[in-house]
Amino acid sequence: MNKVTGEYQTLTSWKNSEDPSPGFFSETIDPNGTSEFFLEWNKSERYWRSGLWTGNYFAAVPILPEMRPHTIITITYVDNKDRRYTTSTYRDRSKITRQVMDVSGQIKQWVWSESAQDWALFFTRPSSQCDVYSVCGPFGICYEKSMPVCKCANGFSPASSRDWELNDWSSGCTRNTKLQCRNSVSDAQQDVGFLKLQSILLPSNAISVNSNKVEDCRSVCLNDCSCAAYAYNSSGCFIWNEEVRNLKQLDQGDDMGDTLYVRLAASDIPSSSNTKRTSIILACAAAAVGLGAALLILIYLSLRYKKARFNRHQLEGSLIRFTYAELQNMTKNFSDQLGSGGFGSVYRATMPSSGAAVAVKRLEGVRQGEKQFRTEVCTLGLIQHINLIRLRGFCAEGDKKLLVYDFMQNGSLDSWLCEDLHRALGWKTRYEIAIGIARGLAYLHENCRECIIHCDIKPENILLDESYSPKLADFGMAKLLGRDFSRVLTTMRGTIGYLAPEWISGMPITPKADVFSFGAMLIEIISGKRNRDQGDEFLFFPAWAANKVSQGEVLAVLDEKLKRDVNMNQLITLCRVACWCIQDNEVDRPSMGQVVQVLENVVELNVPPVPGSFQCFIQG
């Protein structure tokens, strides 16, 4: 920004890879005078921000002080009497780097590779393509796991096939059949229907409508020619007028997903022409089965009654309040124990309404009264992240306190850190597990309304779903059970081998205690050995591993079952992250947000020193 002339310079994307005319996406500095940079769509919607300049880095892209001399790119922010601007310089002056506002809406930093004779991508923000506002244009749906990421729903087609071939999706999708506006609901119903899109992250520009039922919400949209879509959930009825932008497809079961109903010509809705015929067939079948149909109705009514009993207990955040008798029945009188820990035992159970498997934790040593316990449980129910175990419900009857969670098919991480060659996790899975755990912890530390310190990070508290995606369990237990984990060791049940030095010495506890535990657990993920293991070469395995990493012998730490089938850059990064996390002084440890940045290849790390407290364990 030129302070003398008042001129603002922006970095603007091309329209597509062949057309250099201005596109929709741009990068600009804050016109209000701060040091922050924004990425914008159509110079109106901001979808990424750099954070303020701290004096050393931008807040949204943090770099540890001890790591700063080892970053590949040096970022500098300048604010003098004439200008406000930033520079990016490759540390190796012989290398060439360039920053591009890509047609994808992402800001990208490229470095020229002499060996490959090509540009190598170094930095991308936002890291997820679907975090770019309206990247798929009106009615286009972005799904990160598809290729390409943009698609059109049934009844829609790309507005410009040529642009889509060039990965320019900004024109979006158009309806195959143009809608005709009718004067009444009855007329409109003959020509118009709604396409049901499930697991959609709803766009933010919705109009809230006063409606108590999904049918009423549908009628409101149907009676308004400008209404393009509607959604109805626990927060009420929402409609979108004209073009609907920024649609994101989520995975089935993602708690952030909702069902969106998009206005479409009835002829374009799949199977709509067969509805009447299907109804006739069903009616004839019902008449034919006679007594059998009556029996089915009785069963259906019985199930509805059972379901209604649970619905009566639903609280805010969709938590279910169970009775103790219900949980006894669901767990078959607590007969199938999955595990036990410092906070209680866990049992497998079955939801009577759906048959879905859940896990029931019977808590021990709860000091909270019933009212405060319920308050804390409801707060925990609002904490949702893809790498945190989902709380489904609870029971609070006198001294009986239980929690109901999603059931994880692949159990806890500790069961995979064993000598069984056939159960050994591959390197790619291990690295993704490490990143997932880091993201979950970063969310607890930095993104919740109040910072949540886990206090017991260990493989037993990392659960794996059917895709081996990690979920942190037992978070928030300290406050829920009425214990103060922020003071001294005697008030907690942390696990030896994962406890930070300051915790053992009775110092106040901060999120950096979780960072230490995370680092200790990373060593186990890398090596396939438990921290308590001993061998001919070592008395205390983490000390031996830290010494090997400091000497550059990272392959010595690697699990032998992997037979060196590993990405070496990732191995080096993970080993160094682990050893920085277990430093004696918490000031020397990174935050979990910074760990995520490192694991996503934003910075390189120098070799960490061996923690002083480990020196006495190192032999030879």
Cα 67 to Cα 581: distance, rounded to the nearest angstrom: 13
**pLDDT for 564 beyond 70:** yes
Cα 125 to Cα 373: distance, rounded to the nearest angstrom: 41
Domain count, the chain: 4
Buried b (16+ CB within 10 A) or exposed e, 460-472: bbbbbbeebbbbb
Instruction: Report the candidate in 37, 64, 65, 40 with the shortest Cα–Cα distance to residue 53.
Output: 37
| Residue 111 pLDDT level (bands cut at 50, 70, 90) | confident
Strand-strand pairing, 140-142 and 247-249: parallel
Residue 289: what pLDDT? 52
Backbone angles phi, psi at 242, to 5 degrees: 55, -125
**Does residue 290 form part of some domain?**
no
Residue 71: what pLDDT? 55
DSSP string, 187-204: HHHHHEEEEEEEEEE--S
Of 271, 301, 331, which residue constitutes the final position of a domain?
A: 271
**Does residue 164 form part of some domain?**
yes
Q: Give first-to-last CA distance, the chain, whole Å.
A: 59
**Does residue 296 form part of some domain?**
no
Mark whether 118 is an active-site residue: no
Instruction: Report the candidate in 412, 421, 376 with the shortest Cα–Cα distance to residue 394.
Output: 376
Domain shared by 429 and 577, yes or no: yes
Secondary structure class of 87 (helix, strand, coil): strand
Residue 294: what pLDDT? 63
CB 211 within 8 A of CB 232: yes
Q: Determine the Cα angle at 77 with ends 71 and 79, to 5°.
A: 165
pLDDT, average across residues 10-22: 89
Of 344, 378, 406, which residue constitutes the final position of a domain?
A: 406
Domain shared by 510 and 580, yes or no: yes
| Residue 404 pLDDT level (bands cut at 50, 70, 90) | very high
pLDDT, average across residues 438-459: 88
Domain shared by 452 and 590, yes or no: yes
Question: What CATH number is given to the structural domain containing 231?
Answer: 3.50.4.10
The neighbouring-strand residues paired with 174 are 157
Of 378, 406, 434, which residue constitutes the final position of a domain?
A: 406
- How remote is the C-alpha of 66 from its chain's centroid? 28
Domain shared by 214 and 340, yes or no: no
Count of Cβ atoms closer than 10 Å to residue 323 Cβ: 13
The fraction of the chain above a pLDDT of 90, given in percent, is 35
Buried b (16+ CB within 10 A) or exposed e, 332-354: eebeeebeebbbbebbbbbbeee
**Does residue 6 form part of some domain?**
no
**Does residue 358 form part of some domain?**
yes
Residue 190: what pLDDT? 61
CB 558 within 8 A of CB 527: yes
Domain shared by 467 and 552, yes or no: yes
Secondary structure class of 166 (helix, strand, coil): coil
116-125, 193-202, 225-234, 268-277: segment of lowest average pLDDT: 268-277
Question: What CATH number is given to the structural domain containing 392?
Answer: 3.30.200.20
Domain shared by 420 and 544, yes or no: yes
**pTM score, two decimals?**
0.53
Residue 403: what pLDDT? 93
Domain shared by 176 and 261, yes or no: yes
116: CB partners within 8 A, 6+ apart: none
CB 485 within 8 A of CB 456: no
Domain shared by 391 and 429, yes or no: no
Q: Could you tell me how many helices (H) and strands (E) the chain has, helices first? A: 15, 27
pLDDT one-digit tens code per residue, 278-309: 444 444 455 555 566 666 666 655 555 454 44
Question: What CATH number is given to the structural domain containing 444?
Answer: 1.10.510.10
Tokens 């970053």 sit on residue? 71
**Does residue 523 form part of some domain?**
yes
92 token code pair: 């190796």
Question: Can you give the residue range of the structural domain that contains 578?
Answer: 413-617
Strand-strand pairing, 207-209 and 236-241: antiparallel
Residue 462: what pLDDT? 95
Burial class (CB in 10 A: 0-12, 13-18, 19+), 317: middle
pLDDT one-digit tens code per residue, 18-71: 889 999 999 999 888 888 999 999 998 999 988 888 887 787 765 544 445 445
pLDDT one-digit tens code per residue, 468-483: 999 999 887 766 654 4
**Does residue 330 form part of some domain?**
yes
pLDDT one-digit tens code per residue, 73-86: 678 889 888 888 88
- On whether 81 is known to bind a ligand per the annotation, the reply is no
The residue from 131, 258, 406, 456 that is catalytic is 456
The helix (H) or strand (E) run that includes residue 114 is none
pLDDT, average across residues 515-538: 85
CB 259 within 8 A of CB 196: yes
- How remote is the C-alpha of 528 from its chain's centroid? 26
Domain shared by 494 and 401, yes or no: no
Max mean pLDDT among 69-73, 503-507, 536-540, 580-584 falls in 580-584
Instruction: Report the candidate in 163, 211, 222 with the shortest Cα–Cα distance to residue 187.
Output: 222
283 token code pair: 């009616």
Domain shared by 489 and 589, yes or no: yes
The neighbouring-strand residues paired with 388 are 472
Domain shared by 491 and 562, yes or no: yes
**Does residue 303 form part of some domain?**
no
Residue 296: what pLDDT? 66
Domain shared by 506 and 435, yes or no: yes
